Chain A
Amino acid sequence: MGDLITALVIVAIGIGGLIAVLGGLYWLTRLFPTRWSERAKILIFLLPASVLMIVGLVVPAIRTVYVSLLDNNSKKFLGLDNYHEIFTTAGTRLTVINSLTWVLVGTTVTVIVGLAVARFADGMRGEKAAKSAIFIPGAVSLVGAGVIWRFVYDGPPFKVGLLNQVTKSLPGLPNSLGGDGLRSWFIERGLAGITPPSNAPGFNTFLLIVIFIWASAGFATVIFSAAIKGVPDSLIEAAKVDGATNRQAFYKVTMPYIRATIITVATTTTIAGLKAFDIIAATTGGNFGTSTIANQFFVTKFVQGRDGLGSALAVVIFILVIPVVVLNRRAQRRAEELMAA
């Protein structure tokens, strides 16, 4: 407890100091001629944020790009060799493929679940409780989510994983589907006797993606709910007068109306999927062919100490984010034009 108090005192001093410095500088601006004093004031308001962003974000990002072109001791210039290595070495190539799987499967299912809950819970009894239940996983940390799901997926020596207990109780399941209740779901890449090739995501990766969907769907639900409640009743009423069924009204009126929101949620989920790290770290640690780019970045840099390759992996995440944002922008614009028409 004393620890916390010390920390808070330091913070109070820090904040007080910052205010004193900025206030002092601000007071000094009155000594300048009017034109310069205005400029100095602008600078003071922007100074702390600019310093933080330049020192903590801009310069480091540029340096990461630079280091990604060097060898792992940051001595020798290698050009694009690190990138070449990522896409030609089987292990790292699988992490890229896994990340793309996370994005495709994770985002698609998250959006569908979010839309389904937002649509069907709208106006139903217990709507609030239902949405809270879906949202709760999104409020806890992804590490916590990983721990929760270990109790579902873990196999021997843990004897009572939920999934194993369920598959065991289903009659007629072969052992390769957990029929004996002794399957190691995190470790085994194959399913029902089929083993995916080494350059394809294993079944265990899909189980991890389920955790991601479980954690992200609440966010999608909340945003979609807001959007669906924003659709003017008159539009749906008109469609119904014209003889549309509920389903038709949803697909022909509601969906187009909230199109821009769907795109935004898809973008956000995609970016979150590309950064998938916490869930993996708390469950498989990236072993058994489940690593993603973001997890591989951590392992490469902080476990293996390879700066060049680690930086290149970080840059690959960035490069994958850019087209997502650009596509999002384009689709957004088209959605706006549709709305205007």
Chain B
Amino acid sequence: MTIADNSVQVLITPLAEMKTADTVMGGEPMGRSISATLSSRTGRWLVYGLVFFWTIPTFGLFVSSFRPELAVKTTGWWSMFLHPSVTLDNYRTVLSSAPGNENLAHFFLNSLKITIPATLFSVGIALLAAYAFSWMKFKGRDWLFVAVVALLMVPLQMALIPLLRLFTHGAHIGSITIIPYLHLNNSASAIWIAHSAFGMPFCIFILKNFVSSLPREIIEAARVDGAGHATVFMRLIVPLTVPAIASLSIFQFMWIWNDYLVGKVFGGTRNVPLTAHLAEMTGTRGQSWQLLTAAGMIAMILPLIVFFALQRYFVRGLLAGSVKG
């Protein structure tokens, strides 16, 4: 096990701190009197300053999105508080599917269509592999796992062009067809496959860490009682791994939802995710400021809901996965 464990540490030190994950955002740790006094008055003001600086840009977009076109273009959003005028027109316009409008509802659905399956596929398939790497004995297992970890280093730009070629041409050596042309280009399924492939090393890595730390006695007892791998996997591994699956799924979901490059390259025009359409708008609709505000808010709404509703899981996943790149 030593090879694998060593190289794992290359990328993943904060795992040791995972146990404190729940208190990270919570900020109500017990018995913290000492470190509490470490925070000085200047330090507090520094934090307030940073919070202000960090919040203002988003707040500005939020306020602007409810202002009428003329107001957005001629006065700063802060003047809204002096001359309040609120409208939902911007949202109505970008969501509308009438010709010439942005039809963002369509791209919002695209994003869901991409994100949900890609998350399910990558987490499910990675869990199978994580079980094999943790509880099945075979020669070269540690080296194989090291190879998977090494793949974490490969930037997805390295794989992008050939994978696109595979989707548009199939794979051939000379005149022999290895993988036929499957008409997958510009479809949601191309994006699923790309995201699952690119995310696989990361998902396996995270799940393997968790699955291999499950108590050995339970799994061995089940094996002794005659349970096969399939039974152990379904009856023990899956239920016991639920916390890790939840964290990883949320993390993957946010990652894929916010992705731009993969969706843009494999999505063609109709099937691109919301992010790609938003980026497109900044070019073609660069002067329709009032529409950009509403579109920006719509692109953000789901990640924000997920973040606030599932913060605890998300942060836990983040701590475990500080290597995602």
- A33 partner residues in chain B, CB cutoff 8 A: none
Q: Which of B42-50, B88-96, B213-221, B239-247 contacts A (4 or more CB under 8 A)?
A: B42-50
Number of A residues with CB within 8 Å of any CB on chain B = 125
* Complex partner residue of B159 from A56, A227, A236, CB under 8 angstroms: A56
Check if A225 sits within 8 Å of B155, measured CB to CB.
Answer: no
Q: When chains A and B are docked, how far (Å) is the Cα of A178 from the Cα of B194?
A: 44
* Complex partner residue of B131 from A45, A56, A63, A278, CB under 8 angstroms: A45
Which residues of A (1-24) have their CB < 8 Å from a CB of B?
1, 3-4, 7-8, 10-11, 14-15, 22-23
B180 at the interface (CB under 8 A from A): no
Check if B275 sits within 8 Å of A3, measured CB to CB.
Answer: no
Main secondary structure of the interface of A (DSSP, over half): helix
A83 at the interface (CB under 8 A from B): no
B195 → chain A closest CB, angstroms: 9
Check if A130 sits within 8 Å of B303, measured CB to CB.
Answer: no
- B323 partner residues in chain A, CB cutoff 8 A: 264, 268
* Complex partner residue of A301 from B35, B161, B304, B311, CB under 8 angstroms: B161
* Complex partner residue of A56 from B157, B197, B303, CB under 8 angstroms: B197
Check if B61 sits within 8 Å of A223, measured CB to CB.
Answer: no
Q: Which of A90-98, A189-197, A199-207, A281-289 contacts B (4 or more CB under 8 A)?
A: A281-289
B183 → chain A closest CB, angstroms: 14
Check if A60 sits within 8 Å of B35, measured CB to CB.
Answer: no
B157 → chain A closest CB, angstroms: 4
- B106 partner residues in chain A, CB cutoff 8 A: 3
Residue of A nearest to B75 (CB): A160
A44 → chain B closest CB, angstroms: 8
What per-residue 1/0 map shows which CB atoms of B60-75 lie under 8 Å from chain A? 1100100000000111
Check if B10 sits within 8 Å of A3, measured CB to CB.
Answer: no
- B13 partner residues in chain A, CB cutoff 8 A: 260-261, 263-264, 332
What per-residue 1/0 map shows which CB atoms of A305-329 lie under 8 Å from chain B? 0010011011101100110010011
* Complex partner residue of B32 from A46, A123, A132, A310, CB under 8 angstroms: A123
What per-residue 1/0 map shows which CB atoms of B236-267 lie under 8 Å from chain A? 00000000000000000010011111000100
- Assess A141 versus B318: contact at CB under 8 Å? Given A8-B116, A229-B29, A236-B35: no
- B303 partner residues in chain A, CB cutoff 8 A: 139-141
Check if B54 sits within 8 Å of A137, measured CB to CB.
Answer: yes
Which residues of A (250-295) have their CB < 8 Å from a CB of B?
250, 260-261, 263-265, 267-268, 271-272, 274-275, 277-278, 281-283, 285, 294
Q: When chains A and B are docked, how far (Å) is the Cα of A157 from the Cα of B286?
A: 10
- Assess A59 versus B197: contact at CB under 8 Å? Given A150-B292, A275-B157: no
Q: When chains A and B are docked, how far (Å) is the Cα of A278 from the Cα of B274?
A: 13
Check if A147 sits within 8 Å of B296, measured CB to CB.
Answer: yes
Q: When chains A and B are docked, how far (Å) is the Cα of A269 from the Cα of B324?
A: 10
A176 at the interface (CB under 8 A from B): no
A108 → chain B closest CB, angstroms: 16
- B32 partner residues in chain A, CB cutoff 8 A: 122-123, 229, 233
B2 at the interface (CB under 8 A from A): no
A128 → chain B closest CB, angstroms: 4
Check if A11 sits within 8 Å of B158, measured CB to CB.
Answer: no
A338 at the interface (CB under 8 A from B): no
Check if B132 sits within 8 Å of A59, measured CB to CB.
Answer: no
B297 → chain A closest CB, angstroms: 9
Check if B109 sits within 8 Å of A3, measured CB to CB.
Answer: yes
B64 → chain A closest CB, angstroms: 7
Q: When chains A and B are docked, how far (Å) is the Cα of A171 from the Cα of B36?
A: 40
Check if A58 sits within 8 Å of B151, measured CB to CB.
Answer: yes
A173 at the interface (CB under 8 A from B): no
Check if A41 sits within 8 Å of B47, measured CB to CB.
Answer: no
- Assess A57 versus B201: contact at CB under 8 Å? Given A137-B58, A282-B279: yes
Q: Which of B61, B75, B259 has the most CB of A within 10 A?
A: B61
- A231 partner residues in chain B, CB cutoff 8 A: 35
Residue of B nearest to A66 (CB): B162
* Complex partner residue of B27 from A131, A146, A223, A237, CB under 8 angstroms: A131
Q: Which of B27, B43, B132 has the most CB of A within 10 A?
A: B27
What per-residue 1/0 map shows which CB atoms of B278-318 lie under 8 Å from chain A? 11001100010100110110011001101110010001001
Residue of B nearest to A231 (CB): B35
* Complex partner residue of B136 from A3, A41, A214, A302, CB under 8 angstroms: A41
Q: When chains A and B are docked, how far (Å) is the Cα of A132 from the Cα of B40?
A: 20
Give 22 pairs: A residue, B residue, CB < 8 Å, sorted on A. A3-B113, A7-B188, A45-B136, A50-B129, A52-B196, A57-B151, A57-B154, A57-B197, A120-B39, A123-B32, A133-B54, A143-B279, A144-B275, A146-B282, A158-B73, A223-B14, A236-B35, A264-B322, A282-B279, A314-B155, A314-B158, A318-B158
B-binding residues in A (CB < 8 A): 1, 3-4, 7-8, 10-11, 14-15, 22-23, 26, 39, 41-42, 45-46, 48-50, 52-53, 55-61, 63-64, 67, 113, 116-117, 119-124, 127-128, 130-137, 139-144, 146-152, 157-160, 162, 165, 214, 217, 219, 222-223, 225-231, 233, 236-237, 240, 246, 249-250, 260-261, 263-265, 267-268, 271-272, 274-275, 277-278, 281-283, 285, 294, 297-298, 301-302, 307, 310-311, 313-315, 317-318, 321-322, 325, 328-329, 332
20 further A-B pairs in the complex, CB-CB below 8 A; given A294-B157, A325-B10: A14-B121, A55-B179, A56-B196, A60-B160, A120-B39, A120-B47, A124-B39, A140-B58, A141-B259, A148-B57, A160-B75, A226-B14, A226-B24, A229-B24, A230-B16, A268-B323, A268-B325, A282-B279, A301-B161, A322-B153
